[in-house]
Amino acid sequence: MFSILRPFLFKLDPEIAHDLAIKSLKHDYLPSKLFEVDNEEVLNIKVFGKNFPNPIGLAAGFDKSAEVYNACFKIGFGFVEVGTVTPKKQFGNTKPRLFRLTEDRALINRLGFNNDGMVEVKKRIISNEKRGILGINIGPNKETLNQIDDFSLCLKELNNLADYITINISSPNTEGLRDFHKRENLKNLIKNLVEPFKNKNEDSVLLLKISPDINNEEVQVIAEILLSMEINGLVVSNTTTQNRDKLKSLLRDEKGGLSGRPLEDVSTNLISKFYRLIGKKIPIIGVGGVYSAESAYKKILAGASLLQLYTGLIFEGPFLIKNIKKDLIKMVQEDGFKNIKDAIGKRS
């Protein structure tokens, strides 16, 4: 059905097509049995003390305001991350701000954290109990006077509703956000987020989402800080403002972050660099250019314990997750592994 509808959908503005997808999922009409695969136990994995049915997750950016996460579990995702959520509702940047690079199987976005705000998101999650592992991606408002305060507000408000919280310092579309990749800025941010929970003896599972546009020195710095401070996981990575030279689309020079297939090797190489430094001490979620079982398996072998996708879903349709799982099981078994966890980092 998706192959029939895709030409029509791709004639629509990308944001209108996205809104249609959200509205369709709200009807929750697709039976989960359609998306089941045999032998999925091969993909069962325990990370952050939680049992994931499979390692394929939906990246933040699709369900920005926590409207359809339970419907997304039904189409086969092992976990779903909503957001990015900010303290106050915000419209984001001026439209047009999302561009489909069809020839490159890629997107460029400069959305700017458009979402309904943490209060509305909290209401939705309370009223619609999660049916799977749920993460919440948090960030600061554009007009905030203090970005750290915004992160703290979101964390305090949303922590107990999710299985984990992702601290997003990686978007290129919020001014100054990527400055948190610098040593002292990052240490200060993490300290301000971790210590309040330690002092109250409360549990929190905190992940850090980073930019792909970092150099080897920054990789080293971030790895050192992650190992010395209480961060539970690393998300590698968000969209890139670089890597445009080989793109075919006439839209390649649009301002914003590039996602999709052109990010595949960039992300996988960065996963490998971090895995060599942090090993399995801090689990890695691999994001960027996941559109097939082959691209997913490369990230696992490079050191990712879990994976996320979003752009691949737009180009390949909702059965992408089922197809990845089915082929991934074959690859794991052909390589002689009993479980996906045994393949983590084997080619890093």
Q: Which residues are catalytic?
A: 171
Q: Which pLDDT score, from 0 to 100, does residue 199 have?
A: 61
The DSSP secondary-structure symbol of 64 reads: T
> From CA 43, how far away is CA 75, in angstroms rounded?
16
Side-chain-side CA neighbours of 231 within 13 Å: the count stands at 29
For the beta carbon of residue 19, count every other beta carbon within 10 angstroms: 12
Domains of the chain plus CATH, in order, are: 2-343 (3.20.20.70)
Bigger pLDDT: 23 or 137? Answer: 137
- Token pair for 300: 């696992």
CA distances from 38 to 208, 270, 307, 330, 347 (A): 33, 32, 20, 11, 27
SS3 134: strand
At position 222, the amino acid (one-letter code) is I
State yes or no: pLDDT of 29 exceeds 60: yes
Average pLDDT, the chain: 94
The pLDDT of 17-44, averaged and rounded, is 89
Bigger pLDDT: 27 or 279? Answer: 279
Reported as a pLDDT band with limits 50, 70 and 90, residue 190 is very high
> From CA 10, how far away is CA 17, in angstroms rounded?
8
Type and span of the H or E element at 155: helix 147-158
State yes or no: pLDDT of 158 exceeds 90: yes
For 59-112, write each residue's pLDDT tens digit: 999 999 999 999 999 999 999 999 999 999 999 999 999 999 999 999 999 999
Reported as a pLDDT band with limits 50, 70 and 90, residue 211 is very high
Q: Which pLDDT score, from 0 to 100, does residue 5 have?
A: 65
The pLDDT of 139-149, averaged and rounded, is 97
State yes or no: pLDDT of 31 exceeds 90: no
* CA-based max dimension of the chain: 55
Let me know: does 327 contact 296? Beta carbons within 8 Å: no
Q: Which pLDDT score, from 0 to 100, does residue 71 have?
A: 94
Which CB contacts under 8 angstroms, 24+ apart, belong to 146-153?
Answer: 147/176, 147/177, 147/180, 148/188, 148/189, 148/192, 148/193, 150/86, 150/87, 151/189, 151/192, 151/193, 152/192, 152/193, 152/196, 153/87, 153/118
Distance between alpha carbon 7 and the CA centroid of its chain, in Å? 27
Reported as a pLDDT band with limits 50, 70 and 90, residue 334 is very high
